[in-house]
Structure 1
Amino acid sequence: MQCLFAFVFILLLLHSGVSEASDCESGAENQPKVARTIWVDQSGKGDFSSVQKAIDSIPSNNNQWIRIHISPGTYREKVTIPIDKPCIFLEGTHSKLTTIEWNDHNVTSDSATFSSYPDNIVARGISFKNFYNIPPAVVDGKNPVVPAVAARIYGDKSAFYFCGFFGLQDTLWDVEGRHYFYGCYIEGGIDFIFGSGQSIYERCQVNLTLGKYAPEYPYGYITAQGRNSSYDPSGFVFKSCEFTGSGKTYLGRAYGPYSRVIIYRSVLSDLIIPAGWDAWYYVHQEYNFMYVEHGCIGAGADTSGRVPWMTKLRTAQLNEFVNLSYIDKDGWIDKLPIQP
């Protein structure tokens, strides 16, 4: 994963050359609405039997919300929403019934089951899975865990409601932009929520599976947040979440020199290692990080053994991050064609 900085930098340059997508058109009285619905059904009863074919049918530079309703089933395909196709609403029946799944690993940037590039994307009730090497195959007596991304999210103003993300290493690549995850389930073992997104995870379940699939590993890492400067607005905020699973894990390690993760009023089980956080490649830069735990409960919430460079925020400072305005000052969430 650490080899991706150059790739991401080039990608950001390419993205910056594309004009920012305007907000999707609203209906009467400025209420968000869906212009039309495309039906995906594996049995042939819909417009398409493939999620990707449904996306391909949407015209470039579309500016109206188009819903792709995906009937129950496991869709074995890699799915990409290209940068010129904003305003797409992917609607599954339920995350336990509608699954997009693939098993791939080459390099991290190519392995994702689901990739979303444009602004203004929303999904509900879908699971995204990458089951490559789960459980890890034995090689020379060892079970190596390798990166295999379930979903990567590049675009700004992207939201996921009641979705599932399944992998072991690098499950969810929260690359960049403002993102909102509500009521989602995310599992993995190593760096399984990583990237430089400016994101709020609210009422999500974060589940460690390292003890289940690779028990020989002494510990894992839940987050690897990649904030790169004091001016970078990015950060991961976990609000009213539950951290469960099997094995032992750090809450996170620094993927950038100003890494920022805030865990607020969440439940931490005993899988959390007492130190809590790891500087990784940024030893001696720890006081540039912002790692905050506030109001958490559970067997893993005792901070007495945490690293000495954890951040303490005053109430006013904390509210800047835990309020929805951290990612939504312009009100984009209310403009989505779906709410929790």
Structure 2
Amino acid sequence: MSDLFIFIALLLSTCTGLSVATDQTCGNKVVSTILVDQTGSGKHHTVQAAIDSVPEPNSQWIKIKVKRGVYIEKVSIPYTKPCIIVEGEGQKVTTITYNAHEATDVSSTFISSPSHVVVRNLTIMNSYNRLSSLSKPSWNIKPAVALAVYGDKSAFYDCEFLGLQDTLWDVQGRHFFKNCYIEGAIDFIFGSGQSIYEDCRINVTAGALAPIVNFGYITAQARWSIRDPSGFVFIRGSVRGTMNVYLGRAYGPFSRVIFFQTYLASVVVPQGWFSWNYAGHEARFTYAEVDCKGTGSYLSGRVPWINKVQSTLAKEQFATYSFIDQDGWLSNIPRF
């Protein structure tokens, strides 16, 4: 571990200590647990029924414990029900899946609208066109969202998000993804969220689309002004998969994405990044790769508007939790 990284960790620890418990919106402990079980042992058989049973407005942590099984349903946590924890029994053990597609705003399997939501130990999938039907000549690419996160101060631990196009819609707000697996082919992490993805495994499945498409795209981040605090920060983790893939393409004129100490496999194209519909705005982008490794991490072939000065600034500004946790909301999530 480098001296710089140790310094960052110590600085983060100090800052967190100063801000702990500033945000006491939901308290710091679970006051009630609701059980969901398809076999009948729980009070509810569906996740949505359990969410519907939460009183509103809710102001204390309520846990919805989802037993093992495949739950074929669309789930929506409304804006008036913050302070909810949805906890499964593990990736691929507890799965929520649905087959909607077409528009991004109506296709999501799981929609989280309020602030202060925690999801843990779940697979969330949009099954539309996932691998099984790709051999059909008439197959068409359509948005099919697995997760859409609108609310602020939301965290996802040990989750799996599966889709093809537009898998994870990081719409807006501050979000934390820890030890998650994210799979897709085109723009499968997109939106205007202000988010950290720590130790997450990214699997690119664009190879399944050949010869319909020639490239995949991991991120499509939409930042609209220099004052917009949004951006995607990937700390450690890995990028692997099939087909040539761009780390990101600009979904807004000030798009911001940083990869920090991430393993990048050979699937990453030498150019790395794509300006898309914002050619001419490249000087406004913040795209950086800092201390990454792997055969896809070589910077010699990158687009010319990626520079070392930008990478140094990215390391100083975005490689700590302070990017999303200015008021200590992460430390106020109940311990699992």
Normalised to the residue count of structure 2, the TM-score between the two structures is 0.90
The 8 Å contact of residues 217 and 248 in structure 2, kept in 1 or not, is answered as: yes
2:32 matched residue in structure 1: 36
CA distance in 2, matches of 1:258, 1:133: 32
The 8 Å contact of residues 23 and 63 in structure 1, kept in 2 or not, is answered as: no
The 8 Å contact of residues 24 and 65 in structure 1, kept in 2 or not, is answered as: no
CA distance in 2, matches of 1:50, 1:208: 31
Could you tell me which of 204, 218, 233 is aligned with 2:200?
A: 204
| Amino acid in structure 2 at the alignment position of 1:205 | R
CA distance in 1, matches of 2:175, 2:323: 10
Could you tell me which of 87, 94, 99 is aligned with 1:98?
A: 94
Secondary structure in 1 aligned to 2:277?
A: coil
CA distance in 2, matches of 1:99, 1:253: 30
CA distance in 2, matches of 1:241, 1:97: 22
Could you tell me which of 304, 309, 312 is aligned with 1:308?
A: 304
Residues 115-138 of structure 1 show CA distances to partners (whole Å, capped at 9, x for unaligned) of 000000001100110011223556
How much has 1:214 moved relative to structure 2? 4.4
Residues 125-183 of structure 1 show CA distances to partners (whole Å, capped at 9, x for unaligned) of 001100112235566x3532211000000000000000000000000000000000000
Could you tell me which of 37, 51, 56 is aligned with 1:55?
A: 51
Q: Tell me, yes or no, if structure 1 residue 252 matches structure 2 residue 254.
A: no
The 8 Å contact of residues 134 and 213 in structure 1, kept in 2 or not, is answered as: no
Secondary structure in 1 aligned to 2:323?
A: helix
The 8 Å contact of residues 147 and 167 in structure 2, kept in 1 or not, is answered as: yes
Could you tell me which of 62, 66, 72 is aligned with 2:62?
A: 66
1:291 matched residue in structure 2: 287
Q: Tell me, yes or no, if structure 1 residue 220 matches structure 2 residue 216.
A: yes
CA distance in 2, matches of 1:317, 1:203: 18
CA distance in 2, matches of 1:179, 1:262: 15
Residues 275-318 of structure 1 show CA distances to partners (whole Å, capped at 9, x for unaligned) of 01000100111110000001000010001000011143364652
Matches within 5 A, 1:230-241: 230-241=226-237
Could you tell me which of 110, 130, 134 is aligned with 1:134?
A: 130
**Cα 1:177–1:196 shift into 2, 3 Å:** same
Q: Tell me, yes or no, if structure 1 residue 165 matches structure 2 residue 181.
A: no
2:6 matched residue in structure 1: none
How much has 1:24 moved relative to structure 2? 3.2
Could you tell me which of 296, 315, 323 is aligned with 1:318?
A: 315
Secondary structure in 2 aligned to 1:54?
A: helix
Secondary structure in 2 aligned to 1:53?
A: helix
How much has 1:208 moved relative to structure 2? 0.2
| Amino acid in structure 1 at the alignment position of 2:322 | S
CA distance in 2, matches of 1:200, 1:294: 15
- Alignment identity in percent? 51
Q: Tell me, yes or no, if structure 1 residue 243 matches structure 2 residue 220.
A: no
The 8 Å contact of residues 290 and 311 in structure 2, kept in 1 or not, is answered as: no
**Cα 1:245–1:204 shift into 2, 3 Å:** same
**Cα 1:73–1:314 shift into 2, 3 Å:** closer
How much has 1:225 moved relative to structure 2? 0.1
CA distance in 1, matches of 2:36, 2:244: 40
CA distance in 2, matches of 1:92, 1:338: 15
Secondary structure in 2 aligned to 1:320?
A: helix
2:84 matched residue in structure 1: 88
1:331 matched residue in structure 2: 328
| Amino acid in structure 2 at the alignment position of 1:76 | I
| Amino acid in structure 2 at the alignment position of 1:95 | Q
How much has 1:246 moved relative to structure 2? 1.1
The 8 Å contact of residues 245 and 269 in structure 2, kept in 1 or not, is answered as: yes
Secondary structure in 2 aligned to 1:207?
A: strand
Q: Which runs of 5+ in 2 are unaligned?
A: 1-22
More RCO (CA 8 Å, sep 6+)? 2
Q: Which runs of 5+ in 1 are unaligned?
A: 1-21, 27-31
Q: CA RMSD in A?
A: 1.5
**Cα 1:80–1:299 shift into 2, 3 Å:** same
2:273 matched residue in structure 1: 277
Normalised to the residue count of structure 1, the TM-score between the two structures is 0.89
Secondary structure in 2 aligned to 1:334?
A: helix
2:109 matched residue in structure 1: 113
How much has 1:46 moved relative to structure 2? 0.4
The 8 Å contact of residues 288 and 314 in structure 2, kept in 1 or not, is answered as: no
